[in-house]
Amino acid sequence: MQDLGIQVLFQGRNFIRLWEGLWVTLRIAVIAMGLSVLLGFLLGMLMTIQNRTVRCITRLYLETVRILPQLVLLFLVYFGAAKHLGLNISGEAAAIIVFTFWGTAEMGDLVRGALIATPKHQYESAGGLGMNRWQTYFYVIIPQTIRRLLPPAVNLLTRMIKTTSLVVLIGVVEVVKVGKQIIDASRYQTPTAALWIYGVIFIMYFIVCYPFSRLSLWLEKKYKN
C-alpha cells in the first residue's frame, strides 16, 4: 500500500533512535565545549601576557585553527594519528580532540577580548589590596568577564553543535547514519523515507540550536546595559 512516508518515523523505535543518534553528536559538542571553556580561559590569560614568543605562538595557533576548515582538522587527527602515533582512535575521540582544539582557540580569543576590555584599575586595585596574580584573576577579573563572555560563548556552543554534524564523515554512528539505516531498511515499504527522515533531522537540529541562539541574543540584550 502506498502510504504517507512519514509513518516510517513511528515504526518501532525509529524516532527514538534518531534522537539517540543526535545525542551522540550533542555529547561530543557538550564535552568539547566544556573542555574548551576551561582551556580557553587559560589560553585567554596566556594571550594577554606581554611576551613576544607567547604572543607569536598563541596567535599562530589561533590563525591556523581559524583558517582551516574543521573537516580538514578532523581528517588530520583521524587519519594522521592512526598512522603516526599508531593510535587507533575512534571517530568520537578524534572529534572531541578536534572540537576542543578548535573551541579552545575561539574561546581563548573571546576571553582575551574580555580581559582586555576590563579596565586596568581593576587589576591595580586588586594588586593594591595585596592579591596575587591568581587571586586577582579568580576573585576580581573573571567574575566580571562572565557577563561579557556568556552571550558569545552560548553562540559558540550553537556553532559547535552545528559543526559536530561533520562527524558522520569520519564514521561516527550518529543521527545521519541512523537515518540512513532507517531509509535502507524501509526502502521497499516506504520509498519516500529519505525525504521524511532528512527533513526530520533538519528540524531536529533546528529544535536543538534555536533555543540556544535565542538565549544568546537575550543574554546580549540583557547585559548590554
Partner 1 sequence: MDLEFMEAHLPLYIEAAVLTLRIAAAGILLAFLTGLITSIIKYLKIPVLMQIVNAYIELSRNTPLLIQLFFLYFGLPKLGVVLSSESCAIIGLAFLGGSYMSEAFRSGLDNVAEIQTQSGLSLGFTRSQIFRHITLPQAVSTSVPLFCANIIFLIKETSVFSAVALADLMFVAKDLIGIYYKTDEALFMLVSAYLVILLPISVIASFVERKVRYAGFGDTSTVSG
* Site for partner 1, rule CB under 8 A: 5, 67-72, 75-76, 79-80, 82-83, 158, 162-163, 165-166, 168-169, 176, 183, 191-199, 201-202, 205-206, 209-210, 213
Q: What is the DSSP string of 97-127?
A: HHHHHHHHHHHHHHHHHHHHHS-HHHHHHHH
Specify the residue, 69 or 143, whose C-beta has the smaller distance to partner 1: 69
**CA-to-CA distance for 113 and 153, rounded, in angstroms?**
12
Nearby residues of 222 by Cβ (< 8 Å), 6 or more positions away:
none
Specify the residue, 94 or 142, whose C-beta has the smaller distance to partner 1: 94
Compute the least distance from the CB of residue 79 to partner 1, in Å.
5
Compute the least distance from the CB of residue 153 to partner 1, in Å.
17
The answer to whether 100 and 33 are in contact (CB under 8 A) is: no
Compute the least distance from the CB of residue 69 to partner 1, in Å.
4
Compute the least distance from the CB of residue 110 to partner 1, in Å.
15
The answer to whether 135 and 126 are in contact (CB under 8 A) is: yes
Compute the least distance from the CB of residue 88 to partner 1, in Å.
13
The answer to whether 164 and 98 are in contact (CB under 8 A) is: no
Residue for cell digits 516506504?
190
Compute the least distance from the CB of residue 34 to partner 1, in Å.
21
Specify the residue, 24 or 197, whose C-beta has the smaller distance to partner 1: 197
Taking Cα atoms as reference points, which of 163, 190, 200 lies closest to residue 74?
A: 163
3-class state of residue 4 by DSSP: coil
Compute the least distance from the CB of residue 13 to partner 1, in Å.
21
Specify the residue, 136 or 148, whose C-beta has the smaller distance to partner 1: 148
Cell of 130: 595585596
Specify the residue, 58 or 136, whose C-beta has the smaller distance to partner 1: 58
Specify the residue, 41 or 196, whose C-beta has the smaller distance to partner 1: 196
Specify the residue, 173 or 209, whose C-beta has the smaller distance to partner 1: 209
Cell of 90: 575512534
Q: What is the largest CA-CA distance in the chain?
A: 81
Type and span of the H or E element at 26? helix 14-47
